[in-house]
Structure 1
Amino acid sequence: MIKSGTSRLKTIVPHRDGHREFVRLWTAASRRVHAYILTMVLNQADAEDLLQEVGVTVWEKFDDYDPSRDFVSWACGVARNKVLSFNQLASQRLVQSRELLDRIEAETWLSSRTLERQQHALQQCLSKLRDADRQLLQLRYTEGISLKQAAHDTGRSLQAMYKLLQRIHLRLFECVTRRLAAGDET
């Protein structure tokens, strides 16, 4: 828990002028760090408390962060230490061994990297769709328009809309699969 008070605040402010960089990195990383913590601490409230502690510690140690390293990996390392301390203090042993913790960490990291690659490939594939197809996807998934409403608005039958959406999904799936198989990161 973060205590308010000027003496505590002075001890957690990094010496270098990295406030904006820290905020940018932590904002991008905090959901993944939270997910990582949840793999080891099954109680949501405990995970949220630990995430706050990790955020404070990462802020305090931001001067030690090496920008050539992946920030999420570094923050997850801090989280791992916090979870180990939490588990040692708590009478329950949610994670029994360091070996298990290492395996969970490796799997979580691999899963998050895979998801990032899939999201990047999907964005690339979406950009290659026809404008009308992209607009239909936006109406359906971003704005929540029903296919029945989209069919009415475009003068198409509901069946035609289902088939069109199915073809778009298939093209996106094939495109993403090809990009991932080719290792296309650009």
Structure 2
Amino acid sequence: MLEADNDSCPADDAFVQRLTGSQGDLRAFIIGMTPNKTDADDLLQQVNLALWRKRSAYDPGQAFLRWAFAFAALEIRSYRSKSANRRMWFNDGLLETVAESWPHESLYSEERRDALAECVSCLKPEERQFVAEYYSHRSTVQELATQSGKPLSTVYKTIARARVMLRNCVERKLSHTSHPA
């Protein structure tokens, strides 16, 4: 676990956000490369520690997941060599091939999340509130109508309109970026 620091650095805060936001992708990558989930969980902890120790080497202009997957691949190799006689592992060639190809879809997901966050900030306050309550807090449309004092049909239409606007906005943003093949 990371130590709490009262003099938190903005760069460290941003790094922690990227690190915590990438846990699902990192874990999925590691699980795909290890014999069992227990090994994967141990490796994820080691990768997180390695990433934290090397945080000053991270360039915020580069894709975080690509950088993190490179660390994960190194940790997997090290872990594999330590436990090679106890477990069945993929060979180095396969590990490198998967490590190279894995980030493409994850980076696209990361770009989609970033685009969505930008697009949500462009919604009107009421739309943003309804979307947040409906998707993040799992409120029902009925609950939102009751809380806001708006008719049920208005809440449905507001959420539907916001969803279309978000989809179009994300597609526009992603069409302006190039994606790996």
TM-score of the alignment, normalized to the shorter chain, above 0.5: yes
Which amino acid is 1:146 matched to?
A: T
Aligned alpha-carbon RMSD (Å):
3.4
CA separation of 1:53 and 1:183: change in aligned 2, threshold 3 A: closer
Q: Which runs of 5+ in 2 are unaligned?
A: 1-8
The answer to whether 1:49 aligns with 2:49 is no
Secondary structure of 2:123's counterpart equals coil
Deviation, 1:40, is 1.0
Q: Cα deviations across residues 84-140 of structure 1 (Å, max 9, x unaligned)?
A: 344451544342x33432332133211222122111111221121111111111222
Larger deviation, residues 41-50 vs 28-37: 28-37
Deviation, 1:181, is 0.6
Deviation, 1:33, is 3.5
Mapping for residues 93-172 of structure 1, pairs under 5 Å = 93-95=88-90, 97-172=91-166
Query: Could you tell me which residue of structure 1 aligns to residue 3 of structure 2?
Result: none
Structure 1 or 2, whichever has the larger Rg, is 1
Query: Could you tell me which residue of structure 1 aligns to residue 30 of structure 2?
Result: 37
Q: What is the CA–CA distance in structure 2 between the aligned matches of 1:22 and 1:128, rounded to whole Å?
A: 27
TM-score by length of 2: 0.68
Equivalent residues of 1:22, 1:59 under 8 A apart? no
Question: How many residues are matched?
Answer: 163
- Which one of 52, 58, 70 corresponds to residue 77 of structure 1? 70
- Give the percent of matched residue pairs that are identical in Structure 1 and Structure 2: 25
TM-score by length of 1: 0.67
Q: Which runs of 5+ in 1 are unaligned?
A: 1-19
